[in-house]
Amino acid sequence: MTIVGLVAGHEGRSLVLLRAYVDAVLAAGGTPVVLPAAFGPGDDRLDRALAPVEALLLTGGGDIAPARYGAPTTTTLDHVDPVRDDVELRALRWAERSGIRALGICRGAQLMAVAHGGSLIQDLPAAGFDAHVDVRHDRGYATLRHGVKAEPDSLTEAVLGGLDEVNTHHHQAVHSPGQGLTATAWSTDGVIEAIEGPGLLGVQWHPETLFAADPRHLRPFQWLVDGEQGLRT
C-alpha cells in the first residue's frame, strides 16, 4: 500500500492533525505516516523521515505567513505556524524532486501556490467573497456549500466525479497559482477552487469531511494513493 506522508502542525504545546485526513487516506487504501513539524531549517532528518514516503498530503490548518509570498500582512491571521510552513514547503519540494504525487487541501493548496511563487487572498470577506466562511461560527466545520465548475478534461474534473457543489471553510484562497501550476476549478463567485500541475493537485474544499456520506469525495485521495488508476475503480 502507498505510504502517504502528512505533516502535523503545532497548537500550543501539542502537535495537531485532524483525524479525518488519516481516515480518508486509510479509506483510499493508503498507509498514513505522520511527520511532525519539528525539523528546523537545514535539519537533514526531515529528508530521512521522508525517504519511505510515496505520496504527500498537505492538509488544512492555519494561515501561511504572508512574508512567504512577499506580501505585507493586511488582515488578522489565524494560527500562523512558521515551522510548519518551512517543513511543508521543504516536503513539497522533496516530493517534486522525487516525482511522487502530492495533494493539497485548503491550506495545502495555498501552500502549493506559494511554493511556486504564487500569492493568496488574505481575507475573502474583505475582498468581497462572503460565501466561503461562516462568520457566525455556528454551522459546524466545513458545512457551508457553494457551486464549483472545473476545467473540462482536467484532473480536477476527474476527481470531482460529476460533483457540482463542494463544502467550504476558509477565509483565504489562491490569488495566483504561480509558475507551473494552473487554476482548474472556480466557485460560482470566481474564487479559485483547484490548482494542478504535473503530479500535483490542490483543492480548496474539504473532501475529507464528506467522503463517508458521498464516496465521490474520496476520489482525490484515491488519486493520491493510486494515481489515474485510482479514478477508474
- E-strand stretches of the chain: 3-11, 14-16, 31-36, 55-58, 101-105, 119-121, 144-150, 165-168, 173-176, 182-187, 192-197, 200-203
Give the confidence band of 182 by pLDDT, cuts at 50, 70, 90: very high
Give the pLDDT of residue 129.
79
Q: What is the mean pLDDT of the chain?
A: 92
Q: What is d(CA 214, CA 148) in angstroms, rounded to the nearest whole number? A: 16
Residue range 8-38, pLDDT digits in tens: 998 888 999 999 999 999 999 999 999 999 9
Give the pLDDT of residue 140.
60
Does position 190 have pLDDT exceeding 60, yes or no? yes
Percent of the chain whose predicted confidence (pLDDT) is above 90: 78
- Residue 202, all three cell numbers: 490542490
Radius of gyration of the chain (CA): 16
DSSP string, 175-216: EE--TT-EEEEEETTS-EEEEEETTEEEESS-GGGTTTT-GG
Q: What is d(CA 92, CA 55) in angstroms, rounded to the nearest whole number? A: 10
How many domains are contained in the chain?
A: 1
Q: Which residue numbers are catalytic?
A: 106, 206, 208
Give the pLDDT of residue 142.
67
Closest C-alpha to 55, from 115, 91, 96, 101: 101
Give the pLDDT of residue 233.
63
Q: Residue 98: give the domain boundaries.
A: 3-232
**Residues 156-184: b if buried by 16+ CB within 10 A, e if exposed:** bbbbbeebeebbbbbbbbbbbbbeebebb
Average of per-residue pLDDT across 214-220: 96
Place of cell 487554476: 183
Give the pLDDT of residue 115.
98
Give the pLDDT of residue 145.
87
Give the pLDDT of residue 141.
63
Residue range 106-157, pLDDT digits in tens: 999 999 999 999 999 998 888 877 666 654 444 566 678 889 999 999 999 9
Residue range 162-181, pLDDT digits in tens: 999 999 888 899 999 999 99
For residue 225, what is the domain's CATH number? 3.40.50.880
